[in-house]
Amino acid sequence: MHLIDKRVQKYFWDIDPNTLDFKRHKRYIIERILEMGDETAVRWLRSTFSDEDIRDVVKRTRGLSKKSLRFWQAVIGR
């Protein structure tokens, strides 16, 4: 079982971050960090999930604002 890093827990204020299952809640975690995370959070995200996982979420997401979606599409490629 993985635990959310203390530096990233603030992005999961609405739930108990220790209850997140990294496999079951992968999309939720990735979307939350891509939408609201700072540089530290994004570094954590990239060390926790593969670029393929992140790219897949960006391609299929409905949980990012248009502004964030466009940014991440430009950063990771379509």
- What tens digit of pLDDT does each residue of 40-59 get? 999 999 999 999 999 999 99
Residue 28: is its pLDDT beyond 90? yes
Report CA-CA distances (Å) from 40 to 7, 11, 37, 47: 8, 12, 8, 11
CA distance 35 to 25: 15
Residue 5: is its pLDDT beyond 90? no
CA distance 58 to 61: 5
- Which pLDDT does position 66 carry in this prediction? 95
Residue 1: is its pLDDT beyond 70? no
Token pair 């997401």 is found at: 61
Q: Over the stretch 54-74, which tens digit does the pLDDT of each residue have?
A: 999 999 999 999 999 999 999
User: The tokens of 42 are what?
Assistant: 């994004």
Q: What is the pTM of this model?
A: 0.90
**What 8-state DSSP symbol labels residue 16?**
-
